[in-house]
Amino acid sequence: MTKKLYLEDTYQFHFEGLIQEAGKDEKGIFIILDQTTFYPQGGGQPSDHGIIKNDHFEANVIKVTQFNNEIKHYITSTTNEVPVGSKVYCLVNQERRLINARYHTAGHLLGNVIEILYPKLKAIKGHSFPGEAYVEFQGDEAINATTLQNEINEAIAKNDKTKVFEIDPESFEQHFYKLSYNIPENKKFRAMQIGDMLPVPCGGTHLSSVGEIRHVNISRIKAKNNCLRIAYEVT
């Protein structure tokens, strides 16, 4: 099982690892490491890119996926054999990581702000890919775009810190709210919280404070069939 360093520190952009396995499937050539700070695509957030190398081998990481506890680092074709059992130095593309974290954190902030302004709405889905980001809400309530934009601007200016913690479902529901889906009672999960806003379960990468988002522009609001989708851009 790969140790998930990306859960511990969004700002860790390089690390050393051991190549445990290499293979090829319908998506391409992949490498499995004993530990990684490469974020695998999931939770509405794209994967990291970067480089895996040592003195005798170098490859570009172009996609990272997770199935159960197996994290595959897909690489560009290489003429050198992947050195299974060797130590490697790994470098995450910092610019891509941080823009993804900005979009992801902005999605959380948007969800929190909407639920505070419009209690009848509940965030149910987030998609934080740059250029196509949105948050979906369940419920039927009219949104004032100007009010929402102003509240988002004020929240970013306030620059609340974010917090990530692990908690079991029972304790989460006792302290915060009842989850809309089931989580095994004997298993802790990861949650993310902005300031004193309500936390949400999340396994993504987040900024240390919302001021690092810089600016969120609400680009589109669309309501249909008791579902509201708010698209946004980070600039």
Interval 38-81: pLDDT, tens: 999 998 999 999 999 999 899 999 999 998 889 999 999 777 78
What is the arithmetic mean of pLDDT over 177-189?
81
What is the arithmetic mean of pLDDT over 165-194?
88
Query: What pLDDT score was predicted for residue 201?
Result: 93
What are the CB-based long-range contacts (under 8 Å, 24+) for 1-4?
1/69, 1/70, 2/32, 2/33, 2/34, 2/35, 2/36, 2/69, 2/70, 2/71, 3/34, 3/35, 3/36, 4/35, 4/36, 4/71
Tokens representing 176? 């915060």
CA distance 164 to 48: 20
Q: Global pTM? A: 0.95
Helix, strand, or coil here: 147? helix
Domains of the chain: 3-92 (2.40.30.130), 97-234 (3.30.980.10)
